[in-house]
Copies of this chain bind each other. A is one copy, B any other.
Amino acid sequence: MEQQAQPPLRVGMVGYAFMGAAHSQGWRTAGRVFDLPRQPVLAVICGRDPAAVSAAADRYGWADTETDWRTLVARDDIDLVDICTPGDSHAEIALAALAAGKHVLCEKPLANTVEEAETMARAAETAYARDQLAMVGFNYRRVPATSLARRMIADGRLGTLRHVRVTCLQEWLVDPEFPLTWRLRREQAGSGSLGDLGAHIVDLAQYLAGERLAGVSALTETFVRERPLTDGTEGRRTGAVTVDDAALFTGRFASGALASFEATRYATGRKNALRLELNGERGSLAFDLERLNELWFHDAGQPAAEAGFRRILVTEPDHPYLDAWWPPGHGLGYEHTFVHQARDLVHAIAEGRRPEPSFADGLQMQRVLAAVEESAAKNSVHTPTSD
């Protein structure tokens, strides 16, 4: 193919924890499964601890390492900077990378504040004029089943939307002895379940609905307010949890559809129950990330005697991404979302198309989260999502 004549895409990744491992898998695998116009190269991995970053490079297969992201960003043998750090450093790194002429992939949430996100979106817009692309990593859009859901909704299979309900239920904070990690401190994580899980479900809801939330009414809670410290800081044994443990909110879409959201880390027994259901005048769709190869569809046009939610096993060649994978019935896993993300971003770069979700999408999401926090602080009063 002529496309293959394009140069490889040299990736520099910052961060090597959970997201770093997942992104590595994505970059390493995308070109082995899909026909890509540019071949991703795992060029440089960057982290502050020299020994740890070197071990990560060996493990994940990166050719080189850096210990300062400023150096990474400045290298001219890097085409794209992939940001897998906690949210408090996203803005600084992304702005520097865009300024240095790189494409950027930034893990969600885009930033910890609306202000940072605004700056980033503006910088992305400016960079786009210079053919640099910037994308936020809402990987759950790229589960084949959610992509299929989006396609069906765009095709009008649900008709006028009435309801969107989404939860993301996890359980890892149920134990009050679970320690106070960075994810439980506002200064690093920005928020708790809201930014971590809520961001995913709001993004998915808006992506699938094909429209934006107009306003929200919210409730947040921190059930366990003190947790053991792991680092013995200042001789104290426990420290304050400064983020939300759970966030519940309802909302209205621009079209008038109603939405409800719940993000929690206290749903005992639920590992990653990102569940969604959309009801429209012509049909309904339902999905559960714990069974990610399935999409449930109810077609309101079926005769009543034969109607029902049907379980679509999303492993057919006609399904999104699936023509490149295995035969029907041979399911994919969580990490494939990162392979698909890498694939889509490479195509966007090769074609100069603005990738989705863009930094502007990331900013809008941030505004929704801010409205959630504002409503929660104001007795749940319905709070418009400023645009």
Seen from chain A, the residues whose Cβ lies within 8 Å of a Cβ on chain B are: 18, 22, 24-25, 28-29, 32, 59-61, 148, 152, 158, 162-163, 165, 167, 169-172, 174, 176, 217, 219, 221, 223, 246, 248-250, 252, 256, 258, 260, 262, 264, 266-273, 277, 279-284, 289-294, 296-300, 302-313, 315-319, 326-336, 375, 379-382
Contact = CB atoms under 8 A, between A and B. Distances in A.
Contacts of A270: 279, 284, 329
Contacts of A289: 329
Nearest to A295: B308
A219 B292 contact: no
A313 B260 contact: no
Contact of A307 (B277, B309, B310): B310
Q: What are the nearest 3 A-B pairs in CB distance?
A: A272-B329, A271-B329, A269-B298
Nearest to A217: B380
A307 B269 contact: yes
Contacts of A280: 268
A273 B329 contact: yes
Copies of this chain present in the complex amount to 4
B262 A165 contact: yes
Contacts of A171: 279
A298 B268 contact: yes
A219 B25 contact: no
A162 B303 CA distance: 26
A280 B18 CA distance: 28
Nearest to A216: B380
A305 B319 contact: yes
B264 A248 contact: no
- Among A29, A60, A282, chain B packs the most CB atoms within 10 A around the CB of A29
A268 to B, nearest CB: 4
